Homo-oligomer: A and B are copies of this chain.
Amino acid sequence: MKTAFLGLGAIGARMAARVAAAGLPLAVWNRGDTRADEFMRANKARRATSPADAARGADVVITCLSNSPDVVSILDGPDGLLAGLDKGSTLVDCTSGEPATSRTIAARLAERGVKFLDAPVSGGVAGAEKGTLTIMVGGEAAVLDRVRPVLETFGQKIVHCGDVGAGHTVKAMNQALLAIHIWTAGEALVTLVKEGVAPAVALDVINASSGRSNSSMNLFPERVLTRAFPRTFRLALIDKDIGIAAAVARQNGVPAPMLQLGADLFKIAHGELGELADHVEAVKLIEKWAGTEIA
C-alpha cells in the first residue's frame, strides 16, 4: 500500500519511520526543511515537495499535525492535498483535532471520492518508536479495515470508536480527564501541604485508596515530588485538547461545568507558563497561587 506521511514532529517522525521500516513505499512532507532533512538521513522514503506531491499516487495519506486548523491549511491551492489526493484513496488524520472540522473535511473529500478517517494516537514518543500506540479511529469500519495494515506498523491497540469525529472526541476526552486529574490532585496536595501533611505520605494513602488515578500514581511521584518536571508532552497541547472537549460538550448542549472550568484553567496555565512548559507543570501555577510548593 503506497503511503504518504505529512507532519514529521516528535511523534509523527517516529510513526513515519515505522511505516518506512515495514517496507511500505513512503513519501514524506513537512513544513520547513530541518525535520524532513533529518528524516531522510535516517529512513528510506521519497521526499515530497508539497502536500499535493506527497498525496499523488498514494493509497493512504496520513497527516499528523498540531491541530485541525493546520490540517485545513494544507488542503487547498495548487500545492494542497485536495489537488493531489486520488479518487479511491484515504486520508487518515492522526492529529488530535476537532470532530466538527473533521466532519467538514470528510464531506469535502467525499465529493471527490476520497475517504477520511480521524485517527489520533496515544502512547507518546516511546509508544510511537516501539509501534505500541493506541489509535482511536472515527469513520467507516470498512475503510479502517482497508488501511489497517498501515496503522499496524505503528499502532498496537486500534479501536474503532464510531463515525467521523469519534476518534477525535475520545482522544479529547481522555486528555480532558488527564488534565483535570492533574489539576485536582494539585489543589488537594497544595492544601495538604498547608495543613502540614507531607505530600509523599498523602499520595501513599491516596494511591492505596479510591481517589487514585494515573496522575496520582505515576505523574505526581515521578515528576512533581522529585521536582523533575520532564518535558514530555506540552501544556499547550493539552490546553488545546481540553478546549476541544469543552467545546464539544457545549456544541452538544451538555452542561459540563467541570470540563469548562478545566479548559479555562489550562488555558490560563498555558498563557502563564509558556509554549515550552510540560503539561504537568500546570501544577506550578496552583503552587504559585497558593504560595506553597508540593514538597
Say whether chain A's binding surface is mostly helix, strand, loop, or mixed.
helix
* Residues 142 to 192 of chain A near chain B (Cβ within 8 Å): 157, 159-163, 165-166, 169-170, 173-178, 180-181, 183-185, 187-192
Task: Tell whether A7 is near chain B: CB-to-CB under 8 Å.
Answer: no
Flag if A196 contacts B162 (CB, 8 Å). yes
Flag if A246 contacts B254 (CB, 8 Å). no
Flag if A249 contacts B214 (CB, 8 Å). no
Flag if A177 contacts B205 (CB, 8 Å). no
* Residues 253 to 290 of chain A near chain B (Cβ within 8 Å): 253-265, 267-268, 271-272, 286, 288-290
Task: Tell whether A252 is near chain B: CB-to-CB under 8 Å.
Answer: yes
| Chain B nearest CB, measured from A244 CB (Å) | 10
Measured CB to CB, the nearest residue on chain B to A248 is B191
Flag if B254 contacts A194 (CB, 8 Å). yes
Chain B residue contacts of A252, Cβ below 8 A: 191, 194-195, 290
Residue of B162, B174, B178, B211 touching A175 (CB-CB under 8 A): B211
Query: Which has the most chain B C-beta neighbours within 10 Å: A161, A212, A257, A267?
Result: A257
Residue of B213, B248, B260 touching A264 (CB-CB under 8 A): B260
Interface range, A side: 35 or more
Task: Tell whether A198 is near chain B: CB-to-CB under 8 Å.
Answer: yes
Q: How far is A201 from B250 in the complex, measured between Cα atoms in Å?
A: 22
Residue of B208, B265, B271, B291 touching A134 (CB-CB under 8 A): B208
Q: How far is A295 from B197 in the complex, measured between Cα atoms in Å?
A: 41
Flag if A173 contacts B211 (CB, 8 Å). yes
| Chain B nearest CB, measured from A36 CB (Å) | 29
| Chain B nearest CB, measured from A257 CB (Å) | 5
Task: Tell whether A226 is near chain B: CB-to-CB under 8 Å.
Answer: no
Q: How far is A178 from B185 in the complex, measured between Cα atoms in Å?
A: 10
Chain A to chain B: the 10 pairs with minimum beta-carbon distance, closest first: A177-B211, A213-B213, A174-B211, A260-B260, A173-B188, A194-B252, A187-B256, A255-B264, A254-B290, A178-B211
Contact sample, A vs B, 19 pairs, CB 8 Å cutoff: A134-B209, A161-B205, A162-B198, A166-B195, A166-B196, A170-B192, A174-B210, A177-B216, A181-B181, A187-B257, A188-B245, A188-B259, A191-B245, A194-B253, A243-B250, A247-B250, A253-B267, A253-B290, A255-B271
5 extra interface residue pairs, beta carbon distance < 8 Å, beyond A170-B202, A184-B258, A191-B249: A175-B210, A246-B260, A247-B247, A267-B289, A268-B289
